[in-house]
Structure 1
């Protein structure tokens, strides 16, 4: 047993019995590297990572391989979800060295923590045009001893490259003297749409080639662009992408919830791990699609996905777990796939229609097994078969329930039960969006319970700061920019669905904390790590969307929203400068900057400021939330609130009034919700 046995991360604990003398990242390992003047091997992965498990079985559990690693290196294991700051730095280094990245990420450092070589998966013997892991270890050990000066120079050059990549926006940024209506234009939004559509798969939905990721930020942009300018092609591509995912194997047709991505272009075969953040982001965009179209399949998918989250990813205290593994019994996808014989045995006479609907065959549609997927929507399939649609729907639901009962008896994929602040915030926001779109008080309760858990268990008792992760009663690691940005956004959403102003107060206080502790030297963009953190070789700034939204983009959105609530012009100016600084890159590469693109679109269309004041303000806020109004600030109170422009001098005895404003200029207040939408 090595030093990982005392960790709480499920990923690190998976490696606690390896013969490799693993350390967690920390002073003990880093000091030993300096004292013994040995290179450091940092191996980064996460609990639900299939190829991480493969490399562990092939190499890290092998006695001879472990002997080489222990003799020549200080070996450190990192859970990328616990330490995304380190993962970002060393992933950038490996991508710069090799042109690609992924997990497991294996990077070799000098004793001073500077990277000089790296890669992803290495096989135990030479294969796939990759050297064997043992050959890599021995070659690097020899090079470190015999060509030390070259390695140190290479490491210094790489560190300088990493520092340079975070220097954007570091020159003095002038005030924006251009009129607002000239900063952002309809033409820019049109160009973003055209560039997105060049990458759009117009047959199977999504963007780019396999492997295919959900692309929720791009879909959201297309929905909002259509809503703004009535461009039918944008709506068609957004809904095609959602529909094909919902029908594919990336969506769990029995249990609800989405896998991380599809390995093929038709959404059939996923990498079967289910991540909290993917499900949060998809619920977010499905909620908007549901508001816009009224499509009951979207509503059903939201309900099934949040039922899955509640059933399988929710802690007893109300917070949300990180992920479910792809593997069970050492086999990827075994928990989710079926043989036709197995389905026939369970369903009997109903098996034939079920198998035809869900593409189940004797030979299988994936590796001699079947992943359930829908080739035709229920209405189309029923029409072709001459069946009653309602009766078919009920029969399929009954079959799914029977198969789910059988599946529940299988060996389950491993659960990564750590609680991550930022991912919880994304799901809190998604639950708020689902409640706004569909109603269902359970979604609002999920959001409130998780938010209170994070405040009670992950916030420092003596200051505003939060921790990044929580498990086994212990909160660890200072929270990162993304954690705070998503949490502020979640608090904003909580006020909109509860009518409790205290959530906005929390959002405002956290925003002040981020401004004071994460701002770069010119007070424009934000660093990923908090000021004063000592164990990273560079403080990175990141602006593009990855699997989760850009923390800088979300902070720009937060500043813009809260500047209206609190009448803070300096926050609005900073948000606009951030968006303007990114605008050229966003227009050119919108699929990498979806959140920024939405912010530019918002500035073109303008923000509707909606204030509700009176005894029934909560009811009317809920009714407003049902409608698709993507660019809005929604605020409510029973009485006037001094110091908040939208809630000053609004109260009228015995009345509940709705005010629609822009730049605090309000049209005549109304009491009927329908009048609001005529005005907007």
Structure 2
């Protein structure tokens, strides 16, 4: 008998719809029930691709006895952290404050007025490794609630008040060239010169930091960026058969990933590898871009044209048991079975598959250290045969909800890749995804984006700051690439919502809107983690909009917000990647973005100028093309084609150099602007 989650739009919640636990979605109804019955709330937060979420679900939430214990003593609420990042953020802060650590699944016990009083992450079904059994936790929390309720309620009020009073650590200040040097030097101390990346295991793809290093462009910065990108692309964190990056590596060598694949990682890394190609011409970067886009279009694109959230880490192994990495791991015997003795032995050397194994039970993840690349046709054939054979395995599950911000970051990166590599089919894929977000997520009557959708139906959660800003930046990019001003007007609408609903009164922005549900504290995260912070995503959107429109109000607002957190760049560069990247573009003359207008008749000549501009202009630049007199873009106004030929104008702050019609002359201007 399905529980109350049966009508949810979140695939994660639907995974729990048949649990014997009487789950409810987050909302007033659940807390009214807690108030009516006098029970505390058990809040469980996770996401569809989370391995340990699946483990705890199987061990505890599918167990009749555990479910009966939960149902009798608690009002049980299940939350998809990707659908409600606001709920996840504030209760993760509580979990970290109470336990010293965080993670998912997250388990938090709340009073009926939503205040936390006890928290943890994964709890096993029996006590082990210093962790209490989940049933013991339920007993202890229930006993405390029944026997010492006044004390528990008072404690919860104190915890909530303390957390609500915690303000962002003051980090104001305009970023200077010296701050940028300090950030790079600080990062060098954390850099792993052998394996790339920063710090120790586990290692996450440092997407935002890599963007900052590529914008910096110094010898040291490019060395760190190139080594890291190469190590990831050759390691087990990258799918060596079909492309796409896993969420992180459990080791320092990028060998064994946590196998879930997230849209946001691949969206952000697509932008990084496109930028790496533009900076260095490294063919490895070009290959990663092409393979990653092909994988995204094949495996994450939804029937409606947008992109799904993730693929699970787990899948069924040959014995029919759910196992992490089962879809991706190989033994030498597996290779020989598919390829035959000669090619199988060769593939084991090419992909570093050993008899001892690099993963579990003698199996290996596939790496690509560089062996066999002198036989490209053989390598391509082996990869294709292995990929085809792998398709006969049970596939990982897909979380097919569409997240607005993640699709925004993908559209942004995909548009740039399309223009740099001359792939109009990629641009069309980006346009379709952007259209789906507007048609389904934008609620005209609410003047707000919805955070998620599924099967073309919007979810109930309101979009947060990152949704509006990421989508706005994507729309600016798409407006430039298509020459259609409707995208710029939509971006303008979204940035107006940001200013109407999200300001914090101190120059920055909150993550949730002024009219959003009031939690015990209003979330405001300014550091980048797995994804850019809402603040840094907003700076990116404002800067792009300012360069395209020439409207100083956007630039002034970006400067005001950046000054509230500028000290984070030299103090914590690993967690301020996009702040750092935007600061490079604003502070260093050699990295300053430009505006490029290309006017004249459509055709190969104009296309060549446009592609060159996208490829050679500094990061953060805008490029727009159109016929003479085309409406909707200030950058095209009063620009004329010379001698009837497509003509490029390279400008900074709308002050332009002499127009050119020759690609070599345009390349020279972009080198010396």
Partner residue, 1:47: 48
Partner residue, 1:202: 193
* C-alpha spacing 1:659/1:165, structure 2 compared with 1 (3 Å): farther
Deviation at 1:346? 1.2
Q: Could you tell me how far apart the structure 2 residues matched to 1:338 and 1:448 are?
A: 38
Q: Could you tell me how far apart the structure 1 residues matched to 2:365 and 2:140 are?
A: 46
Deviation at 1:461? 4.2
Partner residue, 2:148: 147
1:370 and 2:354 correspond: no
Partner residue, 2:294: 307
Q: 1:189-225: CA deviations, max 9, x gaps?
A: 1111001111111100111111100001111111111
1:96 and 2:89 correspond: no
* 236-245 vs 562-571, greater mean Cα deviation: 562-571
Q: Could you tell me how far apart the structure 2 residues matched to 1:190 and 1:210 are?
A: 26
Partner residue, 1:510: 494
Q: Report matched runs for 1:41-440 at 5 Å.
A: 41-166=42-167, 183-226=174-217, 231-329=218-316, 330-348=322-340, 349-374=342-367, 376-378=369-371, 389=374, 392-440=375-423
Q: 1:288-310: CA deviations, max 9, x gaps?
A: 01111112221111111111111
1:607 and 2:593 correspond: yes
* 428-437 vs 478-487, greater mean Cα deviation: 428-437
Q: 1:387-438: CA deviations, max 9, x gaps?
A: xx1xx22112111111111111111111111111111111111211211221
Deviation at 1:534? 2.5
2:567 alignment partner, SS class: helix
1:533 and 2:525 correspond: no
Q: Could you tell me how far apart the structure 1 residues matched to 2:405 and 2:137 are?
A: 36
The answer (yes or no) to whether the contact 2:311–2:399 under 8 Å persists in 1 is yes
The answer (yes or no) to whether the contact 1:292–1:628 under 8 Å persists in 2 is no
Partner residue, 2:319: none
Deviation at 1:645? 5.3
Deviation at 1:259? 0.6
The answer (yes or no) to whether the contact 2:465–2:513 under 8 Å persists in 1 is yes
Root mean square deviation, CA, Å? 2.1
Q: Which of 505, 519, 534 is residue 503 of structure 2 equivalent to?
A: 519
* C-alpha spacing 1:23/1:39, structure 2 compared with 1 (3 Å): same
The answer (yes or no) to whether the contact 2:315–2:324 under 8 Å persists in 1 is yes
Q: Could you tell me how far apart the structure 2 residues matched to 1:12 and 1:263 are?
A: 27
Q: Could you tell me how far apart the structure 2 residues matched to 1:403 and 1:300 are?
A: 18
The answer (yes or no) to whether the contact 1:42–1:108 under 8 Å persists in 2 is yes
* C-alpha spacing 1:424/1:602, structure 2 compared with 1 (3 Å): same
Q: Could you tell me how far apart the structure 2 residues matched to 1:429 and 1:201 are?
A: 30
Q: Which of 575, 585, 610 is residue 592 of structure 1 equivalent to?
A: 575
The answer (yes or no) to whether the contact 1:424–1:450 under 8 Å persists in 2 is yes
The answer (yes or no) to whether the contact 1:496–1:621 under 8 Å persists in 2 is no
1:549 and 2:539 correspond: no
* C-alpha spacing 1:58/1:463, structure 2 compared with 1 (3 Å): closer
The answer (yes or no) to whether the contact 1:259–1:270 under 8 Å persists in 2 is yes
Unpaired stretches in structure 2, ≥5 consecutive residues: 317-321
Partner residue, 1:26: 27
Q: Could you tell me how far apart the structure 1 residues matched to 2:232 and 2:545 are?
A: 34
Deviation at 1:14? 1.2
The answer (yes or no) to whether the contact 1:290–1:437 under 8 Å persists in 2 is no
Q: Could you tell me how far apart the structure 2 residues matched to 1:485 and 1:577 are?
A: 16
Tell me the TM-score normalized by structure 1.
0.92
Q: Could you tell me how far apart the structure 1 residues matched to 2:557 and 2:453 are?
A: 33
The answer (yes or no) to whether the contact 2:260–2:311 under 8 Å persists in 1 is yes
1:16 alignment partner, SS class: coil
Tell me the TM-score normalized by structure 2.
0.93
Q: Could you tell me how far apart the structure 1 residues matched to 2:652 and 2:433 are?
A: 33
1:488 and 2:481 correspond: no
1:581 alignment partner, SS class: coil
1:674 and 2:661 correspond: no
* C-alpha spacing 1:225/1:191, structure 2 compared with 1 (3 Å): same
Partner residue, 1:386: none
* 308-317 vs 105-114, greater mean Cα deviation: 308-317
* C-alpha spacing 1:638/1:260, structure 2 compared with 1 (3 Å): same
Q: Could you tell me how far apart the structure 2 residues matched to 1:62 and 1:55 are?
A: 10
Q: Could you tell me how far apart the structure 2 residues matched to 1:547 and 1:444 are?
A: 26
Deviation at 1:514? 1.4
2:487 alignment partner, SS class: helix
Unpaired stretches in structure 1, ≥5 consecutive residues: 177-182, 383-388
The answer (yes or no) to whether the contact 1:166–1:539 under 8 Å persists in 2 is no
2:451 alignment partner, SS class: strand
